Amino acid sequence: MKYQAFFTSILFISLFFGCSDKKDKPIERDQQILLKTTTDETITLIKTDNGFKDASNKILFLNFFTTSCVPCNAQFPHLNNLQEKYKNELKIISVLLEEKQIEEIQDFIKDKKIGFDVTLGENNFRLSITLGNITSVPHMLIYDRNGQYVTHYTNATPEEMIEADLKRIF
């Protein structure tokens, strides 16, 4: 009888508190998330009340993508143009939402001539969960210098439209 009460207690505690992996938990305000780039650098994003910011004090543009997504691949030249044109005011980060070997992603970046940071790893998925579990790509978000949400795009978007939105917050 003692064992039954013990195991019932363990079962109850397990069910009540659960066994959750950290990557499944959303990021809370003022918490940091570290994104690993394909060049083995770390980008630190800080959760704000209504978005994210990083230490660069630039407008943050998050581009969620997969390598097999045709509209995602079509966006890269436009994002390259914007990054080059506004390099002092804008930080574009492409967030990969699939598991790939780093060498494969590095080849992809070279092939697509991507001129901004691309991140990979489990924290990409955690960031996606925090933002409402992004599963449809391309999905792009813009945050101002203070980390406040400005707008988002859920499909291939003309460069001119993105640029107009960016100019409103420069």
Q: What is the pLDDT along the chain (170 residues), one digit of tens a residue?
A: 554 544 344 333 333 333 444 456 788 888 999 999 999 999 999 999 999 999 999 999 999 999 999 999 999 999 999 999 999 999 999 999 999 999 999 999 999 999 999 999 999 999 999 999 999 999 999 999 999 999 999 999 999 999 999 999 99
Predicted pLDDT of residue 12: 37
Contact call for residues 89 and 59 (beta carbons, < 8 A): yes
Predicted pLDDT of residue 9: 42
Predicted pLDDT of residue 26: 80
* b/e code 39-71 from CB counts within 10 Å (16+ = b): eeeebebbbbeebbbbeeebbbbbbbbebebee
CATH number of 21-169: 3.40.30.10
Predicted pLDDT of residue 52: 97
Distance of CA 101 to the CA centre of its chain: 18
* b/e code 126-137 from CB counts within 10 Å (16+ = b): bbbebbeebeeb
Distance of CA 96 to the CA centre of its chain: 8
Predicted pLDDT of residue 30: 84
Predicted pLDDT of residue 25: 73
What is the reported pTM? Answer: 0.85
Domain spans, the chain? 21-169
